[in-house]
Structure 1
């Protein structure tokens, strides 16, 4: 018993045990492979093995050391966890702040483009309204040309009722035909300009719609980004969207996004400038056409006045020139004969020149040359044809003059009545009707 007490009170010698490692002897005891195994003694009167005191102390020290090691490792893990949490918190905060700044910058860009699109839409709308007003002016001007055209055609039809020999293509008729042709050309020009204005209005509206759609998309995107910029960690609307971080295949890049709006603005501005230029062109067209019509109207009125003066003078001089008519008839007959002979004399040279050209056209291969003789023969034929045309025209004029002289001689009293009828048509019918000619403001589309 005393020996047992000595053994219990005896402190074991301190042994160096590696950190986080149980004493090797404990493992040997557990495996019953050590030098001091007690398996033999333990089995003397007991069912299970017992540890030695040294082993018990070593086991305690091992538990102490293991507890210390576990606490130390746990403390390190807690420190690392706190450090990692702080780092991730700072990183998340910096990332969120940077994302918020990027969203804010995006909002500024979107607002800038949105404002430009809105301004362009307003300018296009205003420009389209101005062009619509110009189109209405064009339509009114086109409607106003119906009255001058009806006046000109009515004057021509009235003057067709003149009796011979006053039924001539005089300066008045030429001016009236010029006026009718001018009105037709102006009507065609106004119709083409109206068509151009309609097409330009359609283009303005199409580009306005394109800009409005782009502006609408910008507004929607701006509202979305503005909502995103207002989100924070305490927002109740946020939730998990695991698949939202992937990029859409159809998504645009900042370059294509900006270029898309730039192209829309460029096309809209181009059409707006084209519309403005068209409005200026319409102003010039309406001003010029109105001035041209009024100038032509004045020219026709002046021609009527001169023609009436001529008719008055002719009526007063008919009797004075009666005795000269017979002599003039004789002279005109000689003149007609001379012209016919001159025309007949030109036939032979023309045949010769044309025959020469025909024969020379059969020259073979490279001999078919445009030589000086060929050019001279061609010019000779042209000269002869010109001379023949001039002679024939002069012959027609002479024959017409002869017929007029004969009619004057035989029907002097009738010719006086014809002059009176012509004066009535020009003064009472035509010139009175021309008093209804539209004003320059009406022709310019203002009324």
Structure 2
């Protein structure tokens, strides 16, 4: 196959060369599609005379290629097929097709980026004074309306007549294209329907198809495509300038608001610190007064302890002292919290933007669930102060009425001591009587328990006798079942034995029920005996405490002189 292809290729080349020589002989000049020899390149071209055949191209499809022959000695039918073949072969040549496509179709240009600085400009032209690099030193630069590097560059490239550059959309881009009419069989716009000839069939040559290339865009679309990049760049630069202006305004507003808020919060913290300082001083004064009152009350407490050394601490003084200490503890806790809060607010007041201790604290704006409100804060401090003052006043009143309390307490104590002695004596007598009655009841319970145990033994012996009688009756019935034939009769003795077994079984059942009741009675008597013994033991211990210990200790009760503290 490859050999055949090479053979046809060589034949085609030879045929083309012969056709070109034949055409030169007919026309008297080189082919319009063949490069001129070197010795003819510098010579001026001469127009063909009327005696020569001229090849005239026309936009009319009917006269697209016309051969005019006037005085040429040869007939034009001899070289017209040769002209067609050469045209088709040259049009299919790769170099010729690339030249045609690059010259007639703007969409097949090289894929290169279009840069503004590559376009020809005035060598003496200066850069726009409005173009300034965006840096830190130019951050305060304020753009002017319509200031854009791309727009400034395009203004310099617009001609004096006001026409846009050739790579931008033109005024006639929207004008409809002129229809070129139907295409002929040959030429640069061939339809692909040439007249068949033996040479075409042998070489396989086809008409040109550059009209039906892969191009998808028109020159107007290409220029519009270029303009989109400049429009996009202008829009983005304008947006960037607007954004920079908005950012500067926003930053200025944010700085003003931040400084304002910082000063306001500093003033609020100062006021809060003053309020905390006021309450701190009030709490310190209350603690000093409570401390003095506690010392005075402790002196009275020691006096009371000396006067009533044989008794426990009076409840009134003890409760009052505990209440004073509790109030003092609460006030001290509140004072400690306020000292810490005052120190924190003082530290916050001293913080500035240049302080070395400031840093980002994520979550600092959260509200703790245990955080109090200003009203609750004031109420809590006031309640503590009022409570401390009320407790202190109660302690003062207690100390003032202490002498009267002494006399009343001594009288009440002596009277109560006499009543206690009488009640204790009566209780001891009653306890002795109860203890004696319980001992008698315990004796009766033990006697009945003994009788019940004897009854249980009798019932168990009777059950054993009935069981033996049951065995005898059942054995007799079993032996009588061994009788044979007609002798195995249900006679009167048979019925008598069956009735005996039934009666003995009923008696055994009734005696078993009586035995069960007797055992339950025995268990109840045992439980009653245990309860009586336990209660008697408790009563005897009570007598030991009330009679042997209590009355002995009550005999050492202090006298009225000792209770008043004079002894």
Question: Higher helix fraction: Structure 1 or Structure 2?
Answer: 1
Q: Which structure's relative contact order is higher, taking Cα pairs within 8 Å and 6+ residues apart?
A: 1
**TM-based fold match above 0.5:** no
Point out the structure with max Rg over C-alpha.
2
Normalised TM-score (structure 1): 0.41
